[in-house]
Structures are given as structure tokens and as C-alpha cells.
Amino acid sequence: MRILLQLSLLFLLTIIGNAVSSVLPFTFPGTLIALFLLLVLLASGIIREEQLSESASFFSRYMALFFVPAGVEIIESLELLRSSWLSIVLISLISLFVTFLVAAKAVEITERLMMGKEREE
Amino acid sequence: MRAVITETPLFGLTITILAYCFGLYLSRRTRKAVFNPLLIAEIIIIAVLLAFHIPFSAYSKGGEIINMFLGPVTAMLAWSIYRERKLVGKHIMPIIAGTVAGSVASIVTILLLSRLFHLSPELGASLLPKSVTTPIAIAISETLGGTRAITVTSLLFTGVMGNILAPFMISLFHVRSRVAQGVAIGTASHVVGTSKALEMGEDIGAISGIALSFSGISTAIIAMLFL
């Protein structure tokens, strides 16, 4: 019954998240609202970490399974893919390098600034 | 008889789970990033659908049921963040700085390149969230009017390339800090890259896992504010 309750809680949070998202004046994914709600429940101690451990380890272990159908949908856009695969590949590669560089350097600069501050204190 | 087999939601469910299990088996045997279980599963299912002329609508009866779990899977990321709260707390400023800067860089690069290559707005919206974790990327793509299949395809490609190229990019850009290595891998190449980070060290893997959740959240917020 534990797992059933865990699943029901996750489903319920998703439903609430989507409901909240539909009345927001701006567009924001409901599943992320569900993520924040769960984070609040955990941080406030209403739900304890181990009360979710079974379904959490199942979902993180087989996470990619849940993305398969969304990917198979590409079969409906093969024309689009055929005409623009080169731009998709180029954009993906260039943005991979740029994102990696910027993220890494932002961390290193922040770490250096914080270390400098500690030394001053 | 053919309709009896393919017109039930059980068809889509069964073929998805079996193809994924085969993908898992292959990736565990070979330990190569190219044999990504998600990629293998997709190729197998698409090949079966095309070979037996099964319409996508028949497959998606079962596929939709699996799709439905994307919400709960995303919500569960909160559990992973919470579980790593000590590590998050220790490096909170660098992690936030890295993921936010990385998300902005990713969005700006894709917007500029989409314009340069004269892509349709729909295609641009599909590519925009391609660096972040799949469930969040699909949600952002749908909110912006993109095609989620294109999002998943470009995201997979980015993840696999990130997985393969991570050590090369680390030496190319002289990234010495281990926190920076983890954040960069997670922000640029989500969970597929993170599996490489885990091979490089448990600490880098954990940081990469946190970074992928954080960059997903910050990309969604940036997309909400400016697009």
C-alpha cells in the first residue's frame, strides 16, 4: 500500500500543478509547480524523504522509459527532420559547447570571488 | 486479427517496455554512450511501426499512458534535490551562478542560431529547451508551441554528444574545479551527460545531477519571463 500511496501523492501533485498552471497569468509548466510543491512538503517535514524512497528509486532508475513515446512521435515529423537535420545538428553542437563553457567559467569565477571574500574576512 | 493486436493500448505499452529493456541490456553490455537505451528503444519501435505499416495513432494509445508519467517523474526530481541538500547547501552560490549563466547562454545561442539558419518559430521553440532534463524540456517545448518529438530528438543528440565530449571540453576549456566540471556537464547535457559525470567521480556526478534539475528550473523561468 505504501507504493500505491506514493504514486497517488505524485499523481495528485501533478494534477494540482497543472490546475495552478492553467490559472496563472503567464505560461509555466504545471509539472514544475508540482516539483516545487513536493520540495515544500519535504523541506517542511510534512513528508519525510524515506516515505517516498520506493517510487523515487523506481522512477530515477527507469526514468528514460517514460521519454520513449515522446521520442517515437518523431515518426510524424520525418519530413521536417529530413529538411532541417543539418541545422538541428549544428545548433545542438554549437550550443552544447557554448553552454558548457559559460556554465563552467561562471562556477569558477563565483568560487574565486567567494574565496577572495573569505580571505578578506 | 491484426487490429486486435495493434488497436489495444497494451500494444504500445508492451512494445515500449520491451524495446526499452533491450536498450538497457545493450547499453549495459557495451557501456557505450551511443547505445543509449532511449535511442535504441526509439529506433526499434519506429522500425517496427514502419515495417508493419502500423499507424502512429495505434501506437500512441499505449504510448500516451507512459507519457502521462512525465509529470510525476518531473515532480520526483524534488526528491533528488532534497536528498542532496547538504551538497547543494555547500556549493549553492557556484551552482546557481553556473546553471543560470549556462541556461541563458544556451537560450541566447539557440535563438541567434535559429534566426541565422532561418528556422521556423515552431522549430526554434522545439530546440530551445534541448539542454535541460527531458520531462522539463518537453513541458517547456509544449508551452512555447514546439514539437516535442523534435525536442526529444535534439535533446538526445545533445546528451549523447555531451557524454562523449565532456572530457574533451574539460581539457579544451581548462576547467580545473570539480564543481565547475559537474555543473557544466549537468547544465549542458542533462541526464545522459550526467552518467558520464558519475563515471568521472561520485562528487562530479552528484553535482551534475543537481545542476540538471536547477538548469531545468532556471530555463523554464527564463522562458516564462522573456519569451
Do B47 and B95 lie in one domain? The reply is: no
Shared-domain flag, residues B60 and B111? no
- Domain limits at B105? 73-226
Q: What angle do CA A43, A47, A53 make, to 5 degrees?
A: 105
- Does residue A21 contact residue A29 with C-beta atoms inside 8 Å? yes
Q: In whole angstroms, what is the distance from residue B184 CA to residue B191 CA?
A: 12
B145-183 pLDDT, tens digit each: 898 889 988 998 898 899 889 999 999 999 999 999 999
In this structure, the answer to whether residues A15 and A33 fall within a common structural domain is yes
Å between A84 CA and nearest CA of chain B: 8
- Check pLDDT > 90 for residue A45: yes
Mean per-residue pLDDT, B43-72? 93
Same domain, A56 and A75: no
Mean pLDDT in residue range B182-206: 88
A18 contacts on B by Cβ (under 8 Å):
71
Is the same domain home to A6 and A53? yes
Q: Which of A10, A43, A61 corresponds to the end of one domain? A: A61
pLDDT band at A120 (very low <50, low <70, confident <90, very high): low
Report, as an integer, the average pLDDT of B124-131: 90
Same domain, A21 and A57: yes
Q: Does B81 touch chain A (CB under 8 A)?
A: yes
Domain of residue A84: give its range.
69-121
Which three three-digit cell numbers place residue B106?
544556451
How far is it, in rounded angstroms, from Cα A6 to Cα A95?
38
Can you read off the three cell numbers belonging to residue B178?
570539480
Say yes or no for a CB contact (<8 Å) between B67 and A95: no
Count of domains for chain A: 2
Q: Work out the pLDDT band at B191, boundaries 50, 70, 90.
A: confident
- Whether residue B20 and residue A62 make contact (CB cut-off 8 A), yes or no, is yes
Q: How far is A120 from chain B (nearest CA, A)?
A: 18
- A49 and A78 share a domain? no
pLDDT at A121: 60
Q: Which of B20, B43, B70, B79 to mutate to test the interface with A (most CBs of A within 10 A)?
A: B79
Does one domain contain both B43 and B120? no
What percentage of chain B exceeds 90 in pLDDT? 53
* Cβ of residue B44 closer than 8 Å to a chain A Cβ: no
The chain A residue lying nearest B70, using CA atoms, is A66
Asked whether residue A121 falls in the same domain as residue A89, the answer is yes
| pLDDT for position B108 | 94
Beta carbons within 10 angstroms of residue B227's beta carbon: 14
Total structural domains in chain B?
2
In this structure, the answer to whether residues A1 and A40 fall within a common structural domain is yes
- Structure confidence at residue A115 (pLDDT): 85
Interchain contact B12–A (C-beta under 8 A): yes
Q: Which of A30, A61, A92 is the last residue of a domain?
A: A61
Per-residue pLDDT at B18 exceeds 90: yes
Q: Are B110 and B127 in contact (CB under 8 A)?
A: yes
Nearest CA of chain B to the CA of A21: how many Å? 11
Q: Is the pLDDT of residue A60 over 90?
A: no
Closest CB to B156: pick one of A11, A71, A102: A71
Is the pLDDT confidence value at B1 over 90?
no
Which chain A residues are closer than 8 Å to B53 by Cβ?
none
Query: CB contact, 8 Å: B160 with chain A?
Result: no
Statement to judge: residues B45 and B128 lie in one domain: no
The closest of B181, B120, B199, B127 to B156, measured between CA atoms, is B127
ipTM at complex level: 0.87
pLDDT tens, position by position, B21-33: 999 999 889 887 7
| HSE-up of residue B181 (Cα within 13 Å, Cβ side) | 25
Same domain, B84 and B118: yes
Are B7 and B61 a contacting pair, CB within 8 Å? yes
Grid coordinates given for A82: 529530413
d(CA B199, CA A98): 23
Other Cβ atoms less than 10 A from the Cβ of B96: the count is: 18
Considering the domain architecture, whether residues B194 and B85 belong to the same structural domain is answered as yes
> CB of B18 within 8 Å of any CB in chain A?
no
Asked whether the beta carbons of B137 and B159 are under 8 A apart, the reply is no
B4 burial via Cβ count (<10 Å: 0-12, 13-18, 19+): exposed
Q: Of B14, B37, B68, which residue sits at a domain end?
A: B68
| pLDDT score for A4 | 93
Instruction: Locate A99 and state its grid cell.
Output: 553552454
CB contact B72 to A (< 8 Å): yes
**Distance, CA of B224 to CA of B111 (rounded, Å):** 15
C-alpha closest to that of B208 among B218, B219, B197:
B197
Tell me if A73 and B109 make a contact (CB, 8 A cut-off): no
Q: Are residues A83 and A44 in the same domain?
A: no
